[in-house]
Structure 1
Amino acid sequence: MWNIPRDILEAEILCRLSIKSLLRFKCVSKEWHCLISDPKFALYRQKKQGEIDNNNTIHQRVLVLAISPDRLQSLHCLTRCITELNFNFPFESRPNVIIGSCNGLVCMALHGCKDFFIYNPSTRAHKKLPDPDISLGSPYLYGFGYDSSTDDYKVLAVSCLRVLLKVFSMKAFSWRDVHYNLGVKLFYGTESPPKGCLFNGALHWLVSGFHFGSQDPVIIAFDLAEEKFCRVGEACHPRSVSLGVVGGCLSLNVCCSNCVDKTTDFELWVMKQYGVHSSWER
């Protein structure tokens, strides 16, 4: 068993195991402990699991922060089943905002987005981030994602009133100020606080289209590698409320109220060609 080549051990054996089994197998040897603890192995395992899973269920689940205290739920987009997730938050108080999730890690915030944590639900490990020193009274856009160009996780806090962007680097374990220029001030829509949707290596937000010369809401994106903003295009409907990713495409949730029977329906639109407005499909 000990003569198994490392590449076979990693690619054909360990990457197929559950997180619970991997945590136990850390005790087998120092070599196994180092291999399983390596962040690169975690990324490789997730990629391999996606290839093994023919139903692609990994990308069809949505993490939901429930209204009741200490509850997280997982929504399966195909079956529409909601599963309770018993995470047992290791914090002094319950997180009130999920900033985003990426590669099995979840970025959460407490106390009105004053205290930030990176949390691994599988291992229950967590790390508190330094104080970003932002004004609690000012509106911000938030985001969390992985920059593959530098192998780094980043957290963003973008001021909607001032030309100020704070970027946290997990590698440097510190916040830094980055000045941006979109030509206008940022104004966001119904979601508060707005969390960035990670897609194509960039965080995306839905902001007020009026300030961008459009009647409909506008999608903007922040490239995590280049650390620059760009305008992706207009939303397909004035009642767009949130962004997502469905079937490898940027998606849009549209709220449609019926004044007659006083009901509310939601439509899902996908952008089949990234950045092409005419490619929106219901």
Structure 2
Amino acid sequence: MMKSSETEREDSKIILLANGVSDDGDTYLKIPKFYTINLHLLEGMMMKATEIDLQLPAGTCISGIEGWCNGLLCLSSSSKTDLFLSNPTTRKHWQLPSPLPKKKTESIISPSQEICVYGFGYDGTGDDYKVIRVTEDYLNQGIGVLKPISQEVQVYSQKSNSWKHLPQFPYFIGNRRWPNPGKLVNHALHWVMEDSDDDVIAAFDLRTEQYHTVPLPPEIVERKESANPSSKSPSWPWILEVLEGFLCVMKRQDSTTLNLWIMEEYGVKDSWTEFVFQKFPSVVCPNPVPISISNSRRRKGEIFFHDNRYVFSYDAESQMLRKVVFFPSYIASSGYPLISSSLVQPGPSC
């Protein structure tokens, strides 16, 4: 399997946000916790993740990870309006100014729901860190049915320390209850969006601030077109992730088989390579997120996945799935960033 030249493997760690049920009996963690593990230290026995203190300013309430790049995390509050850039290595932080007020629309329809997603990345051409914010208003037309009314896009530039409005995407986030942050690959942020009734991989180029799409794996398109709408068999959605610096698409074939595609040449449809993982039961690992591929001689070909309370390893040769890391708290679905230690400053005055 190819390796991305952009992926740093030395001292790589996974930083996860715990935001759920804890082992001490609390029904909910009012103060989210962050955990770190070093994947290079995993040897045989299951280890416990280490809690870390980001030393955020007093009174700061963080509820989500909205992106990660070059050792920095983009963190948000529950209101999705208070944003911080944080370096877990140096414990330095930078609070972003508030996003611009929403533009007034001429629509006479009052939205019943707002969806907001973010993305964070580095513009190498302009030597600038950027945060993109996409908000959409929806009209609830019934259980699980949302009709998009409007969309607004803003981008933050660290260099100017300001936000500006951008033209809206040609696509909508769609009927997704928990949309994920943009996935950073090839200087662009990527989301699963909807074009009419079809899913697309929509992208925002951080250098040009232009939109484009990335082709889906042909097998995903073919299976969707051939699917029987009257079938009573469970249908699993496809999920967009990043693995070793490459775009990655996952979809369950059935309750014991996981299909994974990696785009080995960015933007090239024929470069999607499929991997089929047998003996990958959904009852054990229902929502796997790929986080790393082992590069050591002893564990070559082993892939690490995260799912709620554990990190799993899957050995493709033996088809063995095992738990290797335990988290004391339920890990929220807001982010699973694999980052490397860095000394990058999160803000100009840090």
Which range, TM-score by smaller chain? 0.5 to 0.7
Q: Which residue of 1 aligns with 2:206?
A: 224
Structure 2 unaligned regions, length at least 5: 21-28, 103-111, 138-149, 225-235, 276-350
**Structure 1 Cα separation of the partners of residues 237 and 126 of structure 2:** 33
Change (3 A) 1:227 1:98: same
Q: Larger RCO: Structure 1 or Structure 2 (Cα < 8 Å, ≥ 6 residues apart)?
A: 2
Could you list the runs of 4 or more consecutive aligned residues of structure 1 that deviate by over 6 angstroms after TM superposition? none
- 1:202-213 to 2 correspondences below 5 Å: 202-208=188-194, 211-212=195-196
Structure 1 position 107 matched with structure 2 position 74: yes
State the shift of 1:186 in Å: 3.7
Per-residue CA shift, 1:3-51, capped at 9, x if unaligned?
A: xxxxxxxxxxxxxxxxxxxxxxxxxxxxxxxxxxxxxxxxxxxx9994x
SS at match of 2:97: coil
- Structure 1 pair 102–109 and aligned structure 2 pair: CA distance change class (3 A): same
Aligned residue in 1 for 2:243: 246
User: What one-letter code is carried by the residue in structure 2 that aligns with 1:178?
Assistant: L
Corresponding residue of 2:56: 90
Measured in 1, the distance between the counterparts of 2:175 and 2:11 equals: 30
Q: Label 1:104 to 1:181 Cα distance change in 2 as closer, same or farther (>3 A).
A: closer
1:110–1:48 distance in 2 versus 1, CA, 3 Å = closer
Give the counterpart of 1:185 among 153, 169, 172. 172
Contact 2:36-2:52 at 8 Å conserved across structures: no
State the TM-score, normalizing by the size of structure 1. Answer: 0.66
Contact 1:73 1:82 in 2 (8 A): no
CA contact 1:114–1:134 (8 Å) conserved in 2? no
| Structure-1 separation of matches of 2:265 and 2:82 | 37
Compared with structure 1, are the counterparts of its residues 249 and 99 closer, same or farther at alpha carbon in structure 2 (3 Å cutoff)? same
For the residues of structure 2 that align with 1:130 and 1:204, how far apart are their CA atoms? Answer: 24
Residues in 1 aligned to 2:7 and 2:117: alpha-carbon distance in whole angstroms: 32
What aligned pairs does 1:28-67 form with structure 2 within 5 A after superposition? 50=8, 56-57=9-10, 61-67=13-19
**Partner SS, residue 49 of structure 2:** strand
Residue 195 in 1 paired to residue 181 in 2?
yes
SS class of match (1:123): coil
1:152 pairs with 2:152 = no
Post-superposition offset of 1:270: 1.0
Over aligned residue pairs, what C-alpha RMSD do you find? 3.2
- 2:261 alignment partner AA: W
Structure 1 distance, partners of 2:92, 2:182, is 23
**How far did 1:89 drift?**
4.1
User: Do structure 1's residue 169 and structure 2's residue 121 form an aligned pair?
Assistant: no
The structure whose residues are more often strand, as a share, is 2
TM-superposed CA distance for 1:234, in Å, is 2.4
Q: Separation in 2 of the partners of 1:58 and 1:218?
A: 34
Task: Note the C-alpha offset of 1:251.
Answer: 1.1
Task: Kindly indicate whether the alpha-carbon contact (under 8 Å) linking 2:65 and 2:75 is maintained by their aligned counterparts in 1.
Answer: yes
Cα shift readout 1:112-155 (whole Å, capped 9, x = no counterpart): 31211111111211121111146795212210001011111111
Query: Counterpart in 1 of 2:271?
Result: 279
Q: What TM-score does the superposition give when structure 2 sets the normalisation length?
A: 0.54
Query: How far 1:203 sits from its partner (Å)?
Result: 0.4
Cα 1:82–1:251 shift into 2, 3 Å: farther
AA partner of residue 158 (structure 2): M
- Alpha-carbon distance in 2 for matches of 1:81, 1:203: 33
CA distance in 1, matches of 2:174, 2:7: 39
For each residue in 1:136-182, what CA deviation from the matched residue of structure 2 results, as whole angstroms up to 9, or x when unmatched?
Answer: 95212210001011111111111334342100111111111011352
Give the share of equivalent positions with the same residue, in percent: 30
Counterpart position of 1:268: 260
Q: Which runs of 5+ in 1 are unaligned?
A: 1-46, 51-55, 259-263
In structure 2, give the amino acid aligned to 1:254. Answer: K
With over 3 angstroms needed to count, the CA separation of the structure-2 counterparts of 1:265 and 1:113, relative to structure 1, is farther
